[in-house]
C-alpha cells in the first residue's frame, strides 16, 4: 500500500513562466523542488560556471589555503587522508592533482575499510609522523575525528580538515545544542553553524574542489585550470547522492561534458571495461555503473587501486586496474544479493514484527556491503534499516544504516551515542560500531524512542502535477529532458492521472516482466504505457478488483470495465526511425 500526494508549493507560476520563457508545467516542477528564488531558477535552467558560489565565503578556507601555500613554499611534505568510496576517491584526486599543480610535495593515504574503519585514525597519524609529514589534509572525513586530530597536534603536525558530514553536537543540561569540531588548524565544512557559505549540500569532493580554487588563486594559477578537476568532482557528487540542485547541478553538468571528452586513461579504460564505450555518459551511468566499480575496490580490496587508476599514464596499467575494478564489482553484486536474501529470511520469519526501525545482525555479510544491503532492505520494507555484521575484532559489531525521509537517522542514533564506539553520518545514512553486548539495548532503545507512526511507514508517491494524457506532447517531453541530470533533490518529474481506461494489455519480454498497456487518453486518442514492475501482482490486483472475466477481456483487447489511476513519466519511443509518445508507468492503483 502507498500514499499518493500531489505537490502543491505556492508560487506565481504565470510570472515565472513569463520571466524565464518556460512552460507553466516546467515552472511548477521547479517550484516543487523549492527552486523559487529567481537567482536559483536562473542557475537551474541556465547552468554555467560563472554561477558557482565564491569559495572564499567558506569558513576557514582562506586560512587552510594559506597553510598549504606556506607548506608548498617551504617544501614540506603533505599527506592527504581520504575515504574509501567514490566521493573520497574524487576528493583525493582533486586535492592531489591541485596541490601537485602548485608544486607541492604531496602523497595520499586511504584508510583500509576493514583494518582502519572510516576516517583518519591513530595509526595513520603516527605513520605520518614517522614518514616526516608536516601537514595532513583530510577529505570527506575528519569532522568527528577529535582524538586523531588531538594526537596530530600533540605530535607537532599541522592538520586541515575538509569535510561535508554533519557536525557533532552535545545536548546540554538546559536542552540547548552545542556543536563541537576538532581543534585542527582549519576546519572547512559548509555545514559548520558558523559558516556563511550559501550552499550546504556539497559532497566531500565539492569541498575539496572549492579549496583548490582558493589555493590556485593564492598560488597564481589560473582559476580556469581548476575546472579540469570537475570530471572527478562530478563523479563524487552523483555517487554520494547529494541534492543535484544549485551548484551541484552545475558541477555535474560541467563534469559530464568533460567526462564525455575525457583524456584520462583510467577513466577511458573503465568506460570500456563496463561496456559503455561509444555511449553518452550520463548521471545514471556514473551512479549505477562507473561509481560502483570505483567503490568496489574500497569494499573488497584496496581503495588506493581506484586512485591509481585515474592517476596512471600507462595504458596497460590503466586497462589492468579498470578490468580489476569491474571484476570486483561483479563479485560485489553476487555477495550483495546473497546478503539481501539472508536478511529477508530473518524478516520474513517474523523476528522483527512490530519494529519501526530494523536493526539486524547478519554475520555472513561482508562489512563493506552493510550500507548497500541496508538501503535495499529499506526500499523493500520502507523502514529505517541498520545492518550490523562481524568486524576484525570478534567483540565488536560494525555496520551501516539507511533511512526514510520521516526519520533523521543521525539525530536518533546520536541519542544512543553512549552505546557506540564510533559513529558518523547524515540524516539519511550512518556508519557505526559497537560492543557486541550493546546490540540488544541499541535495537530496543532506537525502537522505543522512535516517534514514527503507521502512516510514516507507508511508502510515499509524490506527484508533480495531475496531467491529462492528452496534454503530453513531444515539446513537453523535450522540455522535461532539459531538467537532467536527475537524482536526489531533482528527481525525474512524475505526473498522475485518474480513472484511465485500459483498452488492451499484453505481457512482453523473455521473462514476462514487462506489461504493455494501450490506454484511452479520454479524447479519442490512445497512448502506450509500459510497466516494469511485478506483472503477476498487477494481474492479481486487477482480478481482485474487477473480476477474472474483465481481466481476460483486457488482455484480449475487448471492451472492459477496468480503470486505473497511474503515476507516470512521459517519454518518447524511437524505433527504426519512427518516434512515438509513450508513458512509463511507475505506480498504479
Residue with cell 539525530: 411
Taken as a whole, the chain contains a residue count of 589
HSE (side-chain half, CA atoms, 13 Å) at 144: 24
Instruction: For the domain covering 51-228, report its CATH number.
Output: 3.90.1640.30
What is the pLDDT at residue 324?
95
What is the pLDDT at residue 175?
79
Comparing CA positions, the residue from 584, 556, 558 lying closest to residue 571 is 584
Residue by residue, DSSP assigns 269-325 as HHHHHTT-TTSPP-HHHIIIIIHHHHHHHHHHS-THHHHHHHH---HHHHHHHHHHH
CB 371 within 8 A of CB 398: no
Comparing CA positions, the residue from 408, 399, 424, 407 lying closest to residue 167 is 424
CB 404 within 8 A of CB 384: yes
Using CA atoms of 195, 415, 395, 363 in order, give the dihedral in degrees to the nearest 10: -90
CB 286 within 8 A of CB 238: yes
Cα distances from 542 to residues 312, 505, 548, in angstroms, run 57, 12, 8
Q: Which grid cell sits at 47?
A: 547552468
CA 17/CA 15 separation, integer angstroms? 5
502-506: long-range contacts (C-beta < 8 A, 24 or more apart)? 502/554, 502/560, 502/562, 502/563, 502/564, 503/557, 504/554, 504/555, 504/556, 504/557, 505/554, 505/555, 506/555
Cα distances from 132 to residues 67, 126, 152, 311, in angstroms, run 17, 10, 13, 24
CA 402/CA 438 separation, integer angstroms? 20
What is the pLDDT at residue 64?
98
Cα distances from 60 to residues 138, 186, 192, in angstroms, run 14, 6, 10
Comparing CA positions, the residue from 434, 451, 443, 459 lying closest to residue 352 is 443
Burial of 398 (0-12, 13-18, 19+ CB in 10 A): buried
Per-residue model confidence as pLDDT tens for the chain (589 residues): 789 999 989 999 999 999 999 999 999 999 999 999 999 999 999 999 999 999 999 999 999 999 999 999 999 999 999 998 899 999 999 999 999 999 999 999 999 877 777 789 999 999 999 999 999 999 999 999 999 999 999 999 999 999 999 898 888 878 788 899 999 999 999 999 999 999 999 999 999 999 999 999 999 999 999 999 999 999 999 999 899 999 999 999 999 999 999 999 999 999 999 999 999 999 999 999 999 999 988 887 788 889 999 999 999 999 999 999 999 999 999 999 999 999 999 999 988 988 999 999 999 999 889 999 999 999 999 999 999 999 888 899 999 999 999 999 999 999 999 999 988 878 888 999 999 999 999 999 999 999 999 999 999 999 999 999 999 999 999 999 999 999 999 999 999 999 999 999 999 988 888 999 999 998 889 999 999 999 999 999 999 999 999 999 999 999 999 999 999 999 999 887 889 999 999 999 9
What is the pLDDT at residue 251?
98
CA 445/CA 408 separation, integer angstroms? 15
Q: What is the pLDDT of residues 403-445, one digit of tens each?
A: 999 999 999 999 999 999 988 878 888 999 999 999 999 999 9
CA 150/CA 329 separation, integer angstroms? 37
CA 322/CA 328 separation, integer angstroms? 10
Work out the widest C-alpha separation in the chain, in whole angstroms: 84
Please report, for the chain, the start and end positions of each structural domain, with discontinuous segments joined by +: 51-228, 336-449, 460-588
Q: With H, G, I as helix, E, B as strand and everything else as coil, classify residue 465.
A: strand
Q: Which grid cell sits at 43?
A: 542557475
Q: What is the pLDDT of residues 370-381, one digit of tens each?
A: 999 999 999 999
Q: What is the pLDDT of residues 257-309, one digit of tens each?
A: 999 999 999 999 999 999 999 999 999 999 999 999 999 888 877 888 899 99
CB 56 within 8 A of CB 223: no
What is the pLDDT at residue 326?
96
Q: With H, G, I as helix, E, B as strand and everything else as coil, classify residue 139.
A: strand
Instruction: For the domain covering 460-588, report its CATH number.
Output: 2.40.50.460
Handedness of CA 371, 377, 382, 387 (dihedral sign): negative
What is the pLDDT at residue 118?
79
Q: Quick check: bond before 485 cis, omega within 30?
A: yes
pTM over 0.75: yes
Comparing CA positions, the residue from 94, 112, 96, 115 lying closest to residue 104 is 96
Q: What is the pLDDT of residues 471-518, one digit of tens each?
A: 999 999 999 999 999 999 999 999 999 999 999 999 998 888 899 999
CB 179 within 8 A of CB 167: yes
What is the domain class of 336-449 according to CATH? alpha beta
> Who contacts 370 (Cβ-Cβ below 8 Å, separation ≥6)?
387, 388, 389, 398, 399, 400
Query: What average pLDDT is seen over the chain?
Result: 94
What is the pLDDT at residue 174?
81
Q: What is the pLDDT of residues 310-319, one digit of tens each?
A: 999 999 999 9
What is the pLDDT at residue 435?
96
In 10 A of CB 380, how many CB atoms? 13
CA 166/CA 457 separation, integer angstroms? 25
Rounded to 10 deg, the angle between the 304-311 and 265-273 helix axes is: 110
Residue with cell 585542527: 184
Burial of 248 (0-12, 13-18, 19+ CB in 10 A): buried
Amino acid at each position: 500500500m502507498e500514499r499518493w500526494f500531489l505537490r502543491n508549493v505556492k508560487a506565481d507560476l504565470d510570472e515565472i513562466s513569463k520571466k524565464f520563457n518556460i512552460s507553466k508545467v516546467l515552472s511548477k516542477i521547479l517550484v516543487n523542488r523549492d527552486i523559487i528564488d529567481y537567482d536559483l531558477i536562473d542557475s537551474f535552467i541556465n547552468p554555467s560556471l560563472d554561477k558557482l558560489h565564491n569559495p572564499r565565503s567558506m569558513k576557514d578556507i582562506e586560512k587552510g589555503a594559506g597553510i598549504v601555500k606556506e607548506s608548498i613554499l617551504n617544501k614540506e611534505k603533505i599527506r592527504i587522508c581520504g575515504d574509501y568510496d567514490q566521493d573520497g576517491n574524487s576528493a583525493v584526486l582533486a586535492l592531489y592533482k591541485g596541490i601537485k599543480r602548485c608544486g607541492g610535495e604531496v602523497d595520499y593515504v586511504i584508510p583500509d575499510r576493514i583494518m582502519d574503519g572510516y576516517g583518519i585514525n591513530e595509526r595513520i597519524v603516527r605513520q605520518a609522523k614517522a614518514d616526516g609529514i608536516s601537514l595532513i589534509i583530510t577529505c570527506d572525513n575528519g569532522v568527528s575525528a577529535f582524538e586523531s586530530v588531538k594526537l596530530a597536534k600533540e605530535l607537532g603536525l599541522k592538520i586541515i580538515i575538509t569535510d561535508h558530514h554533519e557536525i557533532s553536537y552535545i545536548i546540554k543540561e538546559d536542552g540547548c545544542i552545542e556543536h563541537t569540531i576538532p581543534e585542527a588548524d582549519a576546519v572547512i565544512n559548509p555545514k559548520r553553524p558558523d559558516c556563511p557559505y550559501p550552499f550546504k549540500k556539497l559532497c566531500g569532493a565539492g569541498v575539496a574542489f572549492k579549496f583548490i580554487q582558493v589555493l590556485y588563486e593564492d598560488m597564481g594559477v589560473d582559476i580556469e585550470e581548476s575546472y579540469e578537476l570537475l570530471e572527478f568532482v562530478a563523479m563524487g557528487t552523483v555517487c554520494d547522492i547529494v541534492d543535484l540542485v544549485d551548484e551541484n547541478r552545475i558541477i555535474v553538468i560541467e563534469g559530464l561534458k568533460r567526462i564525455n571528452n575525457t583524456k584520462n586513461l583510467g577513466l577511458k579504460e573503465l568506460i570500456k571495461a563496463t561496456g559503455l564505450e561509444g555511449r553518452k555518459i550520463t548521471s545514471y551511468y556514473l551512479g549505477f555503473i562507473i561509481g560502483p566499480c570505483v567503490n568496489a575496490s574500497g569494499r573488497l580490496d584496496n581503495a588506493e587501486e581506484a586512485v591509481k587508476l585515474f592517476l596512471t599514464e600507462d595504458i596497460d596499467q590503466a586497462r589492468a586496474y579498470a578490468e580489476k575494478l569491474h571484476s570486483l564489482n561483479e563479485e560485489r553484486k553476487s555477495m550483495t544479493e546473497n546478503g539481501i536474501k539472508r536478511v529477508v529470511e530473518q524478516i520474513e520469519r517474523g523476528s522483527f514484527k512490530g519494529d519501526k526501525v530494523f536493526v539486524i545482525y547478519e554475520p555472513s555479510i561482508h562489512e563493506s556491503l552493510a550500507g548497500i544491503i541496508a538501503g535495499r532492505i529499506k526500499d523493500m520494507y520502507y523502514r529505517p534499516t541498520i545492518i550490523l555484521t562481524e568486524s576484525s575484532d570478534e567483540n565488536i559489531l560494525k555496520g551501516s544504516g539507511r533511512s526514510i525521509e520521516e526519520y533523521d537517522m543521525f539525530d536518533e542514533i546520536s541519542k544512543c551515542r553512549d552505546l557506540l564506539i564510533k559513529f558518523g553520518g547524515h540524516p539519511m545514512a550512518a556508519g557505526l560500531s559497537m560492543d557486541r553486548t550493546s546490540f540488544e539495548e541499541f535495537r530496543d532503545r532506537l525502537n522505543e524512542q522512535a516517534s514514527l507512526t503507521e502512516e510514516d511507514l507507508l511508502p510515499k508517491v509524490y506527484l508533480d502535477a495531475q496531467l491529462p494524457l492528452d496534454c503530453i506532447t513531444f515539446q513537453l517531453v523535450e522540455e522535461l529532458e532539459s531538467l537532467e541530470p536527475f537524482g536526489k533533490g531533482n528527481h525525474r518529474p512524475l505526473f498522475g492521472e485518474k480513472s484511465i481506461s485500459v483498452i488492451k494489455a499484453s505481457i512482453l519480454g523473455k521473462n514476462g516482466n514487462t506489461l504493455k498497456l494501450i490506454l484511452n487518453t479520454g479524447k479519442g486518442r490512445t497512448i502506450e504505457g509500459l510497466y516494469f514492475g511485478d506483472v503477476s501482482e498487477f494481474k492479481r490486483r486487477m482480478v481482485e478488483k474487477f473480476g477474472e472475466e474483465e481481466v481476460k477481456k483486457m488482455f484480449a483487447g475487448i471492451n472492459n470495465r477496468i480503470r486505473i489511476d497511474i503515476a507516470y513519466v512521459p517519454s518518447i519511443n524511437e524505433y527504426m526511425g519512427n518516434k512515438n509518445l509513450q508513458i512509463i508507468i511507475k505506480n498504479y492503483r
